[in-house]
Amino acid sequence: MLVEIPSIRSSSTAAVNPTLVPRIPMPAGDIPVIGLGTFGSDHVSHEAAAEAVLGAATAGYRHFDCASVYGNEKQIGNAFRQIAHGGVSRHDLWINSKVWNDRHEPYDLIDSCMRSLDDLQLDYVDLYFVHWPFPNFHPPGCSVDSRSPDAQRYIHANFMKTWEAMEKLQEIGLARNIGTSNMTIAKLDLLLRDASIKPAANEMELHPHFQQPALFDYVVGNGIVPIGYSPLGSPGRPERDRAPEDTIDIEDPVIVSIAKAHGVHPALVCIKWAVQRGQIPIPMSTNPRNYIANLRAVVEDPLTSQELESIAKIDRNCRLIKGQVFLWEGAKGWEDLWDLDGVIVQ
């Protein structure tokens, strides 16, 4: 799954020919190796996110990562309509969406997908995810200490009912591919054992300081495409997800040194590393200079094998999106969400 980046170098901020962006085969269609994230966190309006989608499509992006919980799919749908009117065919676009935690019941899940399609002004999505493997809800903008009294631990029998509804979405053509997000090896083991249709992709936190080598290798080894959120170390993540012990990828001396050698911002080193490693980064930016630079990073001036090896050595196991707000009564801490001992926490 390793992706080759051409050896040309350019400082241009001009648009990128989308046919130059490599794609990875999926069960249905080929997914571009970089996407634009649309999670605006606490500081990007829905309108600004939609404007970024429109600008990114003009710049050459064809892959967009959406979700119902982001609250901006209706505005982004208007951008997709404008993109289509501008001459970009639906066949050339790759669009993801996700079902939120409070819609895991089969009827609710199918209804949520149909609502997303209506908001996005689409007949189908290319990839539909279960956003988190827990049916645990929290209100928007809540504090890190917020807990729902109805929160549950992972219950595999319940998740399989959710997954069977996902399989139904694929069977009836509302989702060309289906995937998981924020899963662990222990949970994926059970899903792969019991599913009729295995996940085509797993979306997970991936950046140089959190490389998740065991999960990454497991996903790839099972023919599942790894999609990495927070590829730059999530500098724009919500305040509730920040902790004093968090590290900053783009300030790492190794990343900074490689960036200087290539004459680019350290963020672009993170993007190049992700693509060349074989994962699909989905950075979010509303700044045209930044999202064009991110896209250009995957079509020119690759990192050397020595640089890739250097980055492999700076993993700090620093999870930034810990998920505390999804904890259930009796859980000891955020670690219980992630099955760190290889066993699903009961």
DSSP conformation class of 174: S
* Cα–Cα distances in angstroms (integers) from residue 118 to residues 78, 112, 122, 319, 328, in the given order: 11, 10, 6, 34, 33
Calculate the CA 35 to chain-centre distance: 8
Contact 225, 280 (CB under 8 A): yes
pLDDT of 239 reads 73
**3-state secondary structure at position 293:** helix
Amino acid at site 134: F
Q: pLDDT by residue (tens digit) across 261-310?
A: 999 999 999 999 999 999 999 999 999 999 999 999 999 999 999 999 99
pLDDT averaged per 10 residues in sequence order, the chain, 346 residues: 59 85 98 96 89 98 97 97 97 98 97 98 98 86 75 96 98 98 98 98 98 98 98 80 88 98 97 98 96 97 98 97 91 94 92
Q: How many residues would you count in the chain?
A: 346
Residue 70 is among the residues annotated as catalytic for this protein = yes
User: What's the CA dihedral at 90, 288, 37, 278 to 10 degrees?
Assistant: 90
Q: Which residue has the tokens 């001009």?
A: 14
Contact 97, 129 (CB under 8 A): yes
DSSP alpha helices (H): ranges in 21-132?
A: 46-59, 73-85, 106-120
In this prediction the pTM is 0.95
**Of residues 61, 70, 128, 218, which has the active-site annotation?**
70
Q: How far apart are CA 276 and CA 5, in angstroms?
A: 7
Q: How far apart are CA 206 and CA 318, in angstroms?
A: 10
DSSP bridge pairs for 179: 129, 201
